[in-house]
Structure 1
């Protein structure tokens, strides 16, 4: 019996020593993982004299996409001339000091000469703005040849990398199925540019060159400008349907 008690006492001493050296369980300190986290560690994460209890959570918000929009396009009011000037020589008409156009059949034009494109899609895909000009006419009378020299100001853009509109010489062109047949690219925003608001204005350097036309008739002549915004940095072929 004394031998058994001695062995039992030795075993108990070894067990106590083992517990001192190797605790039965160590409380989790975090941060959590997919399989072990604060949602399934019922005792929580423990902090002691040698370690901190750590956890990680998430802050999150959603950025909803917007649209690519054409917000303003300019009317082009040109200075007046007379039959003699056009009948005897080629004539250049500068912009008029008045921004008012009369007798126009289009309703989208901005009287301040402003051109604005907004891109809030968040796709950074770029865009292209084209423009073309139909023939000048006054009733049944037409202008045989005219070219609009369109010059815009340096734009204000939210993305400083966005390129400026280019100067264009836009001749009179034919209109098929309600749309111009050969528009030109005025403003192209490459990928990763053109985001936010983009605004430019026509400048006094713009003008209309009218060829000599002895048979010109008196009247108020108007031409339609066809503006098209496309959601890609390279313009697609001209539309053949009314947008």
Structure 2
């Protein structure tokens, strides 16, 4: 009985103590802070493009000849190219302003005699993906000797982080070659220049 009374008394004291109001004697305000450092806007990778073989008779006899993309393994590889078909842009600036990827190409030049063959290249991506909000559709037709042609665009608040697309082999991606009655046999190469540019921040 004595132990029970002691426990009851302890419980009453405990409950009583819990109802005693606490009177603050002072307060202080502080802050917690950190800085996020910006990164860069970079063109990470673009592919070499191989459009297979073209019959010389077709070049000589037809107004135009088309040949579809077969793979990314070229005899003369580009200095900055991949052999996978991937296109990747990374935007770690932290501005969310967007960016533009454009491309241009030279005429196709024959390794046999340096003669030129003009035409165009049509590229269409399989579908843009991003670690944030995906940029717009990748794709455009680029004429030889043209100015930069916009091929992929990230509008404001899109295309942050890592953005990828894939140029797949097949009929969706092809070259269109103009007629050349004096065409020579051999390998033809065009230099494709890809340019990534930041979209200027909007005026306040």
Decide: shared fold, TM above 0.5.
Answer: yes
- Report the TM range for the smaller structure's normalisation: 0.7 to 0.9
Bigger strand fraction: 2
Structure 2 spans left out of the alignment, 5+ residues: 1-19
Residue 104 of structure 2 corresponds to 132
- 2:174 corresponds, among 201, 207, 212, to 207
SS at match of 2:66: strand
Bigger relative contact order, structure 1 or 2, given CA contacts below 8 A and separation 6+?
2
**Paired residues of 2:126 and 2:166 also in contact (CA < 8 A):** yes
**Paired residues of 1:163 and 1:188 also in contact (CA < 8 A):** yes
Residue 15 of structure 2 corresponds to none
Aligned-pair CA distance for 1:118 = 0.2
Give TM-score, length-normalised by structure 1: 0.67
In 2 relative to 1, CA 161–189 (structure 1 residues): closer, same or farther, beyond 3 Å?
same
- 1:216 corresponds, among 168, 183, 188, to 183
CA deviations on 1:4-27 (whole Å, 9 max, x unpaired) are xxxxxxxxxxxxxxxxxxxxxxxx
Residue 158 of structure 1 corresponds to 131
CA deviations on 1:211-242 (whole Å, 9 max, x unpaired) are 222211001000011111111169xxxxxxxx
In 2 relative to 1, CA 233–164 (structure 1 residues): closer, same or farther, beyond 3 Å?
farther
Residue 92 of structure 1 corresponds to 66
In 1, the alpha carbon distance for the partners of 2:165 and 2:190 equals: 22
In 1, the alpha carbon distance for the partners of 2:200 and 2:132 equals: 15
**Paired residues of 2:67 and 2:175 also in contact (CA < 8 A):** yes
For the aligned residue pairs, the C-alpha RMSD in angstroms reads 2.0
Asked which structure has the greater CA Rg, the reply is 1
Give TM-score, length-normalised by structure 2: 0.79
SS at match of 1:85: helix
What is the total number of aligned residue pairs between the two structures? 176
In 2, the alpha carbon distance for the partners of 1:217 and 1:142 equals: 10
